[in-house]
Amino acid sequence: MSGNSNDTSGQGMIVNPKPKADNQDWDGDDADRADRLRFEEEQAMIREQSEARAAAKALAEHKLAENKLAEHKATEAAKNAK
């Protein structure tokens, strides 16, 4: 390889394998729509799971409160029976 500045062998050049027009990622293409749909579905599933956990927790707390109230009533009834 010669050391002159007129070297046109192409070594060291960055070459894009596709023409620029074919290499563009346009907003709104099918892949982008599929990604958005998948993301929205995942977010909906996460919301549903979160709501289900919150409902289960509220139900457990409600049952615990009912049990405490029943225990309190039983204790009061036993005190009044004496």
| pLDDT (tens digit per residue) in 21-70 | 655 655 567 888 889 999 999 999 999 999 999 999 999 999 999 999 99
Whether pTM exceeds 0.85: no
User: What is the torsional sign of CA 15, 17, 20, 24?
Assistant: negative
Find the distance separating the first CA and the last CA of the chain, reported in whole Å.
Answer: 111
Task: Kindly indicate the confidence band of residue 15, based on its pLDDT and cuts at 50, 70 and 90.
Answer: low
CB contact at 8 A, 18 and 24: no
Measured at the CA of 77, the angle between CA 74 and CA 82, to 5 degrees, comes to 130
For position 69, what pLDDT does the model report?
94
